[in-house]
Structures are given as structure tokens and as C-alpha cells.
Amino acid sequence: MNLFAYLSDPANWQGPDGIWNLLLQHLGYTVAAVGIAAVIAIPLGIFIGHTGRGSFLLIGLSNAARAIPTLGLLVLVVLLLGTGTGPIIGVLAILALPPILTATAAGVRGADHEAVHAARAIGMSARQVVSKVEWPLALPLVISGLRSSTLQVVATATVAAYSSGEGLGRLLITGNATRNYSEMFAGAFMVAVLAIVLDLLLGGLGWLASRHASPGRRVRPVGRMISEPTGTPLNLVG
């Protein structure tokens, strides 16, 4: 049985149900959801990290978010609100929030204290401290949060096909229904490739940000924040 039969047939790549289109849908969901989440979570995270207020929210938030069965949420949303892309992206964005929020807050809060004190000492205003000192120092962690979030969304978007029929997950579901393992494998393979590529891209971005944040220092590639000094893992993957 040829595993790559489905992937290697060019007819399967074309058309509205083709692999290419499904891939683009999947990517679209991911970019939209992470984008929306970032727009909300980064400013909020900077605020929490800089002022120290509200940090009690964060630990509980990531633990709670990890426990949500995404399939149940998606099914509920589709039953209640119909099959539009809006509700689905909404759910994905909500799930994408916690990693970005916690990483941003941790990054800003953990910015090198000597640098922050020095900045205050020479008279920088709060906004200048944030934008010129805390943010660049926090950037590697923010990007690592974006990385976790992206993986979470790519994974959840795969499941979303169950309720909305779009994205690469459709190959998995249709393949299962028609007993075509080659099609299922095509779906799994493409999703895995997408996840790995996005992860590596963001990892590279994070590495660049690390170099920018501490030029001259030996740079450790920032992982996906699996354990923090406090021992609270931030990782969220679906």
C-alpha cells in the first residue's frame, strides 16, 4: 500500500478541496488567530510585567488553558454559532492568548534589572524604559511565547476541521471515513511539516532577537520556555 499515493497525485493538490487550498486555509487560520491574540496579549503582558500588577492571573491562566479539551469547545461553538470562520478563529485566538501573555509578562518582568535601574537612573520616562530597555530584553521570550502559541493553534486548527470542514484536518477526517489511509497520512504529514517549519522559523527569529538583546554575550538558543526559574512550565501544545 503506497503511503505517499495521495500526496504524490497532482490532482489531489488542485481545486477547492485540494491539499494546497487546505494548507492555505490552515495557515490563514493560524496567522489570523495568533495575530489577534498577539495584539491583545502583548500590550497586556507588557503592562503586567512592567507594573507587576495582575501577575497572579497568569499562573492560573496557563494551567487552566492547558486543561481545555479543544474539540469540545469547537463543537460547542459550531452548534451555538454556526459554521462561519469567525467563531472558529475566535476560539483559536482565545486558546492562543495564554502562551503569549505569560511569556510577554515574564520577559518584561525578568528584564535585566541592572539595565532597568540604569535607565531609570539616567532619567528615562516609564514609556522610554519599556520601549528602549524592557521590550528589547523581553523580545526573545515574547517570540518564544508566539512560538508556543503558533504550535497550539496549528494543532487546534487541525481538530477544527471536524466541525467546520476546513483546513488540513479535513484530509484526516475524510481519509478515515473512506478508509483511505494514504489520505489520512497526507493530512498528518502536511500538518507535521507545517508545524515544524513554523516552529523553526520562529525559533530562528527568537535567536536573532536574543543576539540583538545581548550583543557580545554568548547566546543560548531560547527553547520553548518549558521550565522557568520558578519551575512553572509555560509550554502549551495541542
Is there a contact between 129 and 111 (Cβ–Cβ < 8 Å)?
no
What x/- string results for residues 85 through 124 when contact with another protein is judged by CB under 8 A?
Answer: ----------------------------------------
Q: Does 125 engage in binding with another protein (CB under 8 A)? A: no
Q: Which residue, 60 or 123, is less far from another protein as judged by CB?
A: 60
Helix (H), strand (E), coil (C) string for the chain? CCCCHHHHCHHHHCCCCCHHHHHHHHHHHHHHHHHHHHHHHHHHHHHHHHHCCCHHHHHHHHHHHHCCCHHHHHHHHHHHHCCCHHHHHHHHHHHHHHHHHHHHHHHHHCCCHHHHHHHHHCCCCHHHHHHHHHHHHHHHHHHHHHHHHHHHHHHHHHHHHHHHCCCCHHHHHHHHHCCCHHHHHHHHHHHHHHHHHHHHHHHHHHHHHHHHHCCCCCCCCCCCCCCCCCCCCCCCCC
Contact window for another protein (CB under 8 A) among 27-35, 102-110, 125-133, 189-197: 189-197
User: Cα(79)–Cα(83) distance, rounded to whole angstroms?
Assistant: 8
Q: Is residue 214 at the binding interface for another protein, with CB under 8 A as the rule?
A: no
Residues 48-87 that bind another protein (CB under 8 A): 63, 66-73, 75-76, 78-79, 82-83
Alpha carbon 49 to its chain's center: 20
Task: Give yes or no for residue 151 binding another protein (CB under 8 A).
Answer: yes
Q: How many CB atoms lie within 10 A of CB 130?
A: 20
Query: How many other CB atoms are found less than 10 A from the CB of residue 164?
Result: 21
Is residue 179 close enough to count as binding another protein by CB under 8 A? yes
Determine if 201 is a binding residue for another protein (CB under 8 A): no
Instruction: Please identify, among the stretches 43-51, 100-108, 114-122, 165-173, the one whose residues bind another protein according to the rule CB under 8 A.
Output: 165-173
| Residue number with CB closer to another protein (131 or 227) | 227
Q: How far is the CB of 42 from another protein (least distance, A)?
A: 22
Of 19, 88, 92, 184, the one binding another protein by CB under 8 A? 184
Regarding 30 and contact with another protein (CB under 8 A), the answer is no
In the complex with another protein, the residue whose CB is nearer, 123 or 231, is: 231
Residues that bind another protein (CB under 8 A): 1, 3-4, 16, 63, 66-73, 75-76, 78-79, 82-83, 151, 154-155, 158-159, 162-165, 169, 172-174, 176-181, 184-185, 187-189, 191-192, 195-196, 199-200, 207, 219-221, 223-224, 226-227, 231-233, 235-238
